[in-house]
Structure 1
Amino acid sequence: MELPKGTVRRVNACVLRLRDSPRFGRVVRRRLTVVTYTGRRSGKTFSTPVAYRRSGETVTIGVQFPGAKAWWRNFLGAGGPISLHLDGEDRPGHAVSHRDDKGRVTVTVTLEHRPAR
């Protein structure tokens, strides 16, 4: 199932408003983050909200409706740099996307080591 691009943009805008809201933001941020990356062909910087799971310095993003989204394709093969907004700050990392034999797409991000404060 593919969603029209306009629908994806509207949903993303709603998700960002929820994530930033004083009432629901704290709860929403536990499972939603914003990824920022540079398009491999365009060279432009993009940001998009995504659901994630985190285990230590590894973040896993399950891409819903991958046919309607292109951002994850920037991380095929050897992957590339990405930034995730976590714990109130932008965390750089290296992302690699994988499509399984059923067409499901997962992006695995290894966060860069953060020096002790």
Structure 2
Amino acid sequence: MAELEEVVSIYRKFKACEKQLEETKALAKEDVSDEDMAEMIAYEIGTLSNQLIKLEEKMKVLLLPSDPLDARNILLEVRAGTGGDEAGLFAGDLVVTGIEAVGEGSIPDKGESMAGGRPGATEDA
């Protein structure tokens, strides 16, 4: 039910924007003698059209079926391979970047080299 709330919210915004665009277009069809008013109406039509396109794209993404694997965890294993201490430093940077990208995670198995790098690490995210 909670996953539908965002879809419904975007749909309501889409319909409100669509209605406002129709009203603005109807206002543009009327005889507007004021140049500033006509310019504001044209700007508003452009803005609403862009907003409508963005909302439509967002709705399309939200209506895609969710992947059942999205909620599953991963096990990421990083090994330094050949390259000595520099490879270990690079592997350590990859592990830190992986943890930062996920936002949470643990490193159940990590080894550290004397240079401060990691010749190998396993991350549970």
TM-score for the superposition, normalised by structure 2: 0.23
The structure with the largest strand share of the pair is 1
| Larger Rg computed on CA atoms | 2
TM-score for the superposition, normalised by structure 1: 0.24
The structure with the largest helix share of the pair is 2
